[in-house]
Structure 1
Amino acid sequence: MPAAFTEMEQRTARWQTNSPLLVVPSWAASLAIHSLILLILISSLNRCDSGQTGGDEGELRSVGIYVKQSPDADQPEDSDQEPLESPENPQVSQAQEQISEVMEQPPVAPLLPELNSKMLGAGPTQAPSAPTTDLTTDQLMSPSTALAPPVMGAGNVNFFDAVDSGKRFVFVLDCSGSMAAPQGAPIRKARSELISSLAGLNHHQQFQIIFYNTTTRAMQHRGKSAELLYATDINRTLARQFIQSVEPDGGTDHLPALKRALSFNPDVIFFLTDAKHPQLSSADLNDIREQNGGKAKIHCIEFGEGFPVKEGNSLDKLARQNKGSYRYYNVRKFIKHR
């Protein structure tokens, strides 16, 4: 038993003598442990760089690393001197090189996109300027202010399949005695088509209605002189009353009615008559063309019985000379059969 114990003590002494732990000095072991901790810290920082950087508000921050060496480690006398490499500990040398690379990197500057008008939007627009003068109570209550929109707008209008667009329209209708025959069909059809055309106007368009025989009669509003009226609901209602109040009577004189229509400076004139006679003369046609000056389109609608005759027809010439169209309707088709 004592011999076996003595042999075990000898083996223990030989192991302690040959152990590698006795070869490494304590300062090197301490430096290795601290270097391992720094490697773990560097690895964590690299993983953080792959994600979102910055604080809660997304701002980038410069990060510095302070390395505290072990008291047992040897301090180099010259700061410019390169760190010593231990041939027995290559891992320590590699860790020191990685630490130096990290410390030498400059702070990262935040790369934020430049702000431009597309990112910020168009911005607030300037509010429209207020009127220079205040409206009085009488002006606010006047029909022109209360009923008429301030801006005109274009749109299509259909009158007896003559379709045209514009802002200002004048309807000129023959109300001579011949419009009552046969059986009142011509004047009845003219009224219904005119009311339907007015219903197709929008509130930003203007209109005027002229009935004529040997004299002319234009629509007036509240006793004022005849003028273009906006197609508001109340003005269309007043127009229906005016249309229904006209009864066929008297003879026919085309020229004064057409000249009065041109005096309103319209974009489009719809001209309806059933009178082949009297025809518009060449002098009348030239007079109308000169006064119009190519500004208004004149569409002509003729009522008659039988087949249309276009040769020498002054209405067809009137339409062609003023960029309009010509249409003929047999009034016999307007008669209601009971």
Structure 2
Amino acid sequence: MPAGSLPFESTPRRAVPAWVMSVVLHVILMTSAGLMLAARERGTEQAPDRPVGIAIVQAMPDRNEYKIQPDLQEREAVEGEANDSAVAAMAAAAPPAGLNAPLDLQGVLAELSATPMPGSTGTTGDAMQASDSTRPGTGPLGDGGSKPTTTMVFGVSGTGSRFVYVFDRSDSMNGHGGRPLQAAKIELIKSLRSLTEQQSFQIVFYNNRAQPFVPAGSTAQMLTGGEAMRFRAEQYVRNMTAFGGTEHEGAIKMALRMHPDVIFFLTDARIPRLTGRQLREIRARAERAGTTIHAIEFGADGVSPADSFLRQLATDNGGQYRYLDVREFQADGDWDAGDEE
């Protein structure tokens, strides 16, 4: 032992095992990583979707009034539910397979608008564009076998080979003991009987909607005037009833789509009137189709109204106008000619 040094007892140090240090280090690292991940999730967490609307502030003299516009997603959800309900309703209303549904007016209108007639380009909707410049044929007859003739309705004569009768069947035709409807039927049947297989015809009765004569096995088009077809048409006319309101324009446009030579238009309705715009459009279509329109008006006054739109309709389209006082009609359909222009 060197001099001056103090003697002391040496205590040996105890070494920590390496695996313990490894475990401690891994625990520290995993704990740190867990804390960092938890902090990140808390920082990026999004609140649940909440409906958002647009508030419109309207300043009032004594307060502000807030109007909340519904959220777009909410509106879309509502619209989606409505569409789903509509689809389900349509599916439920569909007839069973193999069932022959009765003729409905909407189907007739759609068929007339969409089904091309022989010799025509067809139509889409009411606005007959390119096909207005063509003349459709008539079943097996066609224009090659047609022959002009003259027929009459209430003393109004029309000459041609293609005739369309557009007659009012609204509820007002039941007035005065039903004599207006009865007289109209009788005159229509008389006119049909003057036709032959060399002429063609169509009958359009209308109220709120237009209903053409579509016999079984046929389509909504001009029909040959042979005896068998005229007999079926007479039965159709005899069975016609009157009800509902009145909508003139659709019935006249339906007739013009068939490109007749003559339209006999009969109504007892002064209201609703055809507007100036409607009259101009009808005139343009009639000119393209080469159609003359005769107008026959039923009324309960001694003289015809001075401002009758039917007078204007006939004048615009090269036809005659006649007014008939329904009070003078007989139960058997006899009538007094009244005023003629």
Q: Which TM bucket (shorter chain)?
A: 0.5 to 0.7
Which residue number corresponds to residue 296 of structure 1?
Answer: 291
Which residue number corresponds to residue 162 of structure 2?
Answer: 168
Which residue number corresponds to residue 73 of structure 1?
Answer: none
- One-letter code of the match for 1:187? L
Task: Give, in whole Å, the separation in 2 of the partners of 1:319 and 1:247.
Answer: 26
Secondary structure at the residue paired with 2:176? Answer: coil
Alpha-carbon distance, 1:224 to partner? 2.8
Answer whether contact 2:196 2:227 (CA < 8 A) is retained: no
Which residue number corresponds to residue 183 of structure 2?
Answer: 189
- Compute the RMSD of aligned alpha carbons: 2.0
Matched, 1:263 2:280: no
Secondary structure at the residue paired with 1:271? Answer: strand
Alpha-carbon distance, 1:287 to partner? 1.2
Task: Give, in whole Å, the separation in 1 of the partners of 2:156 and 2:278.
Answer: 23
What is the TM-score when the length of structure 2 is the normalising length?
Answer: 0.54
Matched, 1:273 2:267: yes
Alpha carbons of structure 1 residues 248 and 321: separation in structure 2 relative to 1, 3 Å = same
Which residue number corresponds to residue 283 of structure 1?
Answer: 277
Alpha-carbon distance, 1:246 to partner? 1.2
Secondary structure at the residue paired with 1:269? Answer: strand
Secondary structure at the residue paired with 1:258? Answer: helix
Which residue number corresponds to residue 235 of structure 2?
Answer: 241
Alpha-carbon distance, 1:144 to partner? 5.2
Answer whether contact 1:155 1:202 (CA < 8 A) is retained: no
- One-letter code of the match for 1:303? F
Task: Give, in whole Å, the separation in 1 of the partners of 2:317 and 2:276.
Answer: 14
Task: Give, in whole Å, the separation in 2 of the partners of 1:263 and 1:157.
Answer: 21
Secondary structure at the residue paired with 1:293? Answer: helix
User: For structure 2, which runs of at least 5 residues remain unmatched after alignment?
Assistant: 1-137, 333-341
Select 1:152's aligned residue among 146, 149, 169. 146
Which residue number corresponds to residue 198 of structure 1?
Answer: 192
Which residue number corresponds to residue 110 of structure 2?
Answer: none
Task: Give, in whole Å, the separation in 2 of the partners of 1:184 and 1:158.
Answer: 22
Task: Give, in whole Å, the separation in 2 of the partners of 1:182 and 1:234.
Answer: 33
Task: Give, in whole Å, the separation in 2 of the partners of 1:241 and 1:205.
Answer: 19
Select 2:327's aligned residue among 320, 332, 336. 332
Answer whether contact 1:148 1:232 (CA < 8 A) is retained: no
Alpha carbons of structure 1 residues 224 and 158: separation in structure 2 relative to 1, 3 Å = same
Which has the higher Rg, Structure 1 or Structure 2?
Answer: 1
Answer whether contact 1:166 1:267 (CA < 8 A) is retained: yes
Superposition pairs of residues 3-152 of structure 1, within 5 angstroms:
151-152=145-146
Alpha-carbon distance, 1:200 to partner? 0.7
Task: Give, in whole Å, the separation in 1 of the partners of 2:326 and 2:251.
Answer: 22
Identity %: 38
Secondary structure at the residue paired with 1:156? Answer: strand
Which residue number corresponds to residue 313 of structure 2?
Answer: 318
1:62-86, Cα deviation, whole Å (9 max, x unpaired): xxxxxxxxxxxxxxxxxxxxxxxxx
Task: Give, in whole Å, the separation in 1 of the partners of 2:319 and 2:143.
Answer: 29
Task: Give, in whole Å, the separation in 2 of the partners of 1:312 and 1:325.
Answer: 16
Answer whether contact 1:210 1:218 (CA < 8 A) is retained: yes
Secondary structure at the residue paired with 1:183? Answer: helix
Alpha-carbon distance, 1:258 to partner? 0.4
Alpha-carbon distance, 1:291 to partner? 1.4
Secondary structure at the residue paired with 1:184? Answer: helix
Q: Which runs of 4+ in 1 moved over 4 A?
A: 147-150
- One-letter code of the match for 1:306? D
Secondary structure at the residue paired with 1:237? Answer: helix
Which residue number corresponds to residue 127 of structure 2?
Answer: none
What is the TM-score when the length of structure 1 is the normalising length?
Answer: 0.55
Task: Give, in whole Å, the separation in 1 of the partners of 2:244 and 2:324.
Answer: 22
User: For structure 1, which runs of at least 5 residues remain unmatched after alignment?
Assistant: 1-142
Task: Give, in whole Å, the separation in 2 of the partners of 1:148 and 1:201.
Answer: 16
Secondary structure at the residue paired with 2:177? Answer: coil
Answer whether contact 1:182 1:335 (CA < 8 A) is retained: no
